[in-house]
Amino acid sequence: MRYIGECAIIFGITLVGELLNAVLPFPVPAGVYGLFLLLFLLCKGIVKLEDVEATGNFFLDIMPIMFIPATVGLIEQFGLIKEILVPIVVISLLSTLAVMAVTGKTAELMMGKGKGKEGDRQ
Amino acid sequence: MTFVQESMYLGFIFTILAYLFGVWLKKKVGWAVLNPLLVAAVVVIGGLLLTGIDYETYNQSAQHISYLLTPATVCLAIPLYKQLHLLQKNFVAVIVAILSGVATSVLCIFAMCLLFQMDHISYVSMLPKSITTAIAMGVSQEAGGVVTLTVVCIMITGIFGNMIGETALRWFRIKEPMAKGLALGTSAHAIGTTKALELGEVEGAMSSLSIAVAGLLTVIAVPVVSGWI
């Protein structure tokens, strides 16, 4: 029974996210609306952590395999990118590394100097 | 052959087994390059090419896995909720870090597209490549890009971020769990976030938050820079 209730909450919120995505004019996907909605409901105590945790953790645990079909789908696009494959790969890889370095370093710098230092660890 | 064409579960189970094989191989050999996600995709592609099954047939079964991606994204609120106190304490640092990452992303792509003499369409298609697919597709379309090209770059970015993330964070000497999560989520969206969730709950929470914030900031940033090439 536990999982049925949890699924009802999670898929219900997903549905509301889908609805918001369809109705509101912002380029926000259903999942992101749903993320903030669930966060809000948890913060307000309307949904308790134990009401969604078991199913939620299951979904998070299997999340990596959800990207495999789309990755496999890249073979379909090979014709499109063949000619610009090298620059695309180089640009993607280098910019990913740059973003990682700048974001991480900025965060450490800001937290190191800011008042939030004691909050870095629990 | 009809069974293979019509089976509802073949593509599904093949995908799961390919991933388990990737996990096993990574454990056995230990190279960072052998990312389970990448290995699984290569194994599935190899399997399709060998058997002559086309992608559409495979996806008819495998799409049920992708179907769960939206509720899974909703569930990213769970680690975020558990670490909310960290966000409240470091709110400014978190926002500035993600903002700097988004700026780095678009400027980097601009500079390198200039270097490689890419045309306007390829340039705008690449701009939203570090954010989650659902937001990026809209951004690309709005800027006049080719959505499929955007999706290709998003997948390359995500897989690479997931693959190299742990090692790269070590290279850059980024040690704070919060900083690691922000770096992974801002650079490699949801696929980077699956790596962050593996690293720890704080990393996972910050990476989840980055998906949303970096996505929204990119929506604002792309129209500003899209006319530059």
Q: Tell me how crowded residue A28 is: count the other CB atoms within 10 A of its CB.
A: 21
Query: Is position A91 within any domain?
Result: yes
Q: Of B112, B202, B80, B186, whose CA–CA distance to A106 is shortest?
A: B186
Is residue A117 predicted with pLDDT exceeding 70? Answer: no
**pLDDT (0 to 100) of residue A111:** 92
Q: In chain B, which residues have their Cβ closer than 8 Å to the Cβ of A29?
A: 70, 73, 132, 134-135
CB B193 within 8 A of CB B208: yes
Tens digit of each residue's pLDDT (9 = 90 or more) over B115-165 = 999 999 999 999 999 999 989 998 998 899 999 899 999 999 999 999 999
Same domain, B61 and B126: no
Q: List the domain range (segments joined by +) for residue B50.
A: 2-67
Same domain, B155 and B197: yes
Query: Is position A9 within any domain?
Result: yes
Same domain, B115 and B168: yes
Q: How far apart are CA B191 and CA B177, in angstroms?
A: 18
**pLDDT (0 to 100) of residue B125:** 96
**Nearest residue on chain B to A94, alpha-carbon basis:** B108
B191 phi and psi angles, rounded to 5 deg? -70, -35
Distance from CA of A2 to the nearest CA of B (A): 16
Same domain, B35 and B88: no
Query: Is position A122 within any domain?
Result: no
Is residue A58 predicted with pLDDT exceeding 50? Answer: yes
CB B44 within 8 A of CB B94: no
Q: Tell me how crowded residue A87 is: count the other CB atoms within 10 A of its CB.
A: 18
pLDDT, tens digit only, all 229 positions of chain B? 688 888 889 999 999 999 999 999 999 998 878 899 999 999 999 999 999 999 999 999 999 998 999 999 999 999 999 999 999 999 999 999 999 999 999 999 999 999 999 999 999 999 999 999 989 998 998 899 999 899 999 999 999 999 999 999 999 999 999 999 999 999 999 999 999 999 999 999 999 999 999 999 999 999 999 999 9
**pLDDT (0 to 100) of residue A31:** 93
CB A103 within 8 A of CB B97: yes
Beta-carbon separation of B45 and A72 below 8 A = yes
Query: Is position A121 within any domain?
Result: no
- A85 touching B, CB under 8 A? no
Is residue A120 predicted with pLDDT exceeding 70? Answer: no
Q: How far apart are CA B187 and CA A71, in angstroms?
A: 18
Structural domain tally of chain B?
A: 2
Same domain, B148 and B61: no
Same domain, B55 and B111: no
Same domain, B85 and B28: no
Which residue among B49, B67, B85 closes a domain?
A: B67
- When pLDDT is cut at 50, 70 and 90, the band that residue A122 belongs to is very low
Query: Is position B156 within any domain?
Result: yes
* Mean confidence (pLDDT) of chain A: 90
Which residue among B67, B90, B122 closes a domain?
A: B67
Q: Of B183, B188, B180, whose CA–CA distance to B154 is shortest?
A: B188
- When pLDDT is cut at 50, 70 and 90, the band that residue A116 belongs to is very low
**pLDDT (0 to 100) of residue A119:** 46
Same domain, B89 and B47: no
What's the angle, vertex CA A92, arms to CA B178 and CA A25, rounded to 5? 75
Query: Is position B72 within any domain?
Result: no
Same domain, B142 and B62: no
Same domain, B12 and B105: no
Residue B100 makes CB contacts below 8 A (sequence gap 6+) with A102, A103, A106
CB B187 within 8 A of CB B153: no
Query: Is position A21 within any domain?
Result: yes
Which residue among B23, B46, B67 closes a domain?
A: B67
- A32 touching B, CB under 8 A? yes
Mean pLDDT over A43-65 rounds to 95
Q: List the domain range (segments joined by +) for residue A42.
A: 2-115
Structural domain tally of chain A?
A: 1
- A98 touching B, CB under 8 A? yes
B119 phi and psi angles, rounded to 5 deg? -80, 170
**pLDDT (0 to 100) of residue B1:** 63
The H or E element containing residue B18 is helix B10-29
Tens digit of each residue's pLDDT (9 = 90 or more) over A60-113 = 999 999 999 989 988 888 888 888 999 999 999 999 999 999 999 999 999 985
Distance from CA of A1 to the nearest CA of B (A): 19
Query: Is position A40 within any domain?
Result: yes
Tell me what ipTM this predicted complex has: 0.92
Query: Is position B87 within any domain?
Result: yes
Q: How far apart are CA B79 and CA B76, in angstroms?
A: 6
Same domain, B108 and B56: no
CB A72 within 8 A of CB B41: yes
Same domain, B25 and B63: yes
- A24 touching B, CB under 8 A? no
Beta-carbon separation of B105 and A84 below 8 A = no
